[in-house]
Amino acid sequence: MKKLFAAILVLFMALSAQARGIKSEKANFSSVINDSGIEKNSIAISIKDLNTGKPVYELNEKILMHPASVQKVLTLIPAVDTLGEDYEFTTTVYKRSDNSYVVKLGADPYLTTSDLKNLASNIGLDTQKVYIDDSILEKKSWGEGWQWDDDMNVLMPRFNSYNLDGNLIKITILPEGKGKPAVILNPSKYPLVFLNNVVGGDKNEVKVSRDNSISANTLSLSGTVSRPQIIYIPTNNLKRYFDIRFMNVLQDKKIYMKQNFIVDKILPEDEKLDSITHPISQAIDDILKNSNNMVSETVSKLAGGKMYDDKGTDINGIKVFNAYCKKIGLDNSKIRIVDASGVSKNNLISADFITEFFIKTKDAPVMEKLPIPGEGTLTHRMLPLKDNVRAKTGTHSDSSSIAGFLTTKKGNKYAFCIMINDATATVSDMKSLEDYILREAYLRL
């Protein structure tokens, strides 16, 4: 009887110690959060055992929040699953029987003017007509809920079938001497009007804004330049930019057409001549490491077009995500996504859903490409945890997020998601809190 009592006592003490340990872990997370000064109600955290799916720490985990660019992982995996890992963005030139040519666009986010020059080498000097097949994507060039006043943000360029040069116009500002007006060069020949108030000075400090009260192509520039400065301007009319650049390419070859490009579809008798391709692997790295919004949206739409044998649309892209959730047995009825990149504030997802998604897709090839500290958006973050973290970050005005996989000091593996939506906190403070929470998890779980 005494032995039984002793065994029960030992078991009770062990359980008490374990309980104290759990409480201590939670207390440390709470301490980190309290010390940050960020409102607790604006933070959502979910940390789950990667093998069992069991939660080990949660805070507001069921609350719907804006996920920012963490959402890119959720839409990228279904898109790659649909398109295939060997998918290539392809732009092709065809010969038409009536001595004309057709260029079929592939919405390639990496297509450049130099690529157009290569395609143009297949076009005869005597051609009078060039048709453009732009049917691969819908004409819509921004996502639902994207903010109109962000139209000068180079991280949010428009996107559609006419993707070219990253959908950015490159201009160069040259100083002509201190106090003298600077010179603005626009080699693209895209029609822009510059209200130039830039002068030579001691440093490069130029501000650019689009003056829509005058014209969408009117830009106001102010500030100083001490040396040549390159600035990129988001293209506000993708088809017009494409047409101008391609027409310039043809004219450089002494090809002068009597009319502009005609929109038409490929015909069965059209003869394929040449293609420019870029692999989807390039896009996967760009989305995960650089958080490229334009590429993320393009890939999702292309997947939607392939799955439903239709134009690539944002609606079809979202349907691909819904179908994938059903395939892996994940209920997504309580969340809302309206774009692929996480730019729209209309996206609402819980931290609990994101960790569930990560656990169910942990073996997906895309997950192996998640950046580690020292790479991409994690270049200057969590460097001491370099070999123990793979994660996607998100940043959007008053929102910050991070989600991924963590291997702790004890060798335990977890899926995690941290989202902070706080209009009163700085982005730096929100990201510092994320790093401290992950450090605590690494040391204590």
The model's pTM: 0.91
pLDDT at site 210: 84
pLDDT at residue 14, as a whole number: 39
At 290 the pLDDT is 96
- List average pLDDT for each run of 10 residues in the chain, which is 445 residues long: 40 37 55 90 97 96 97 98 98 91 97 97 91 96 82 89 97 94 94 93 92 81 95 94 96 88 94 97 98 97 96 96 98 96 96 98 97 96 93 94 97 97 94 95 93
In the chain, where the domains are located: 29-83+282-444
CB-based contacts of 77, cutoff 8 Å, min separation 6: 324, 361, 364, 366, 367
Fold of 29-83+282-444: Beta-lactamase (3.40.710)
**For residue 148, what pLDDT is reported?**
73
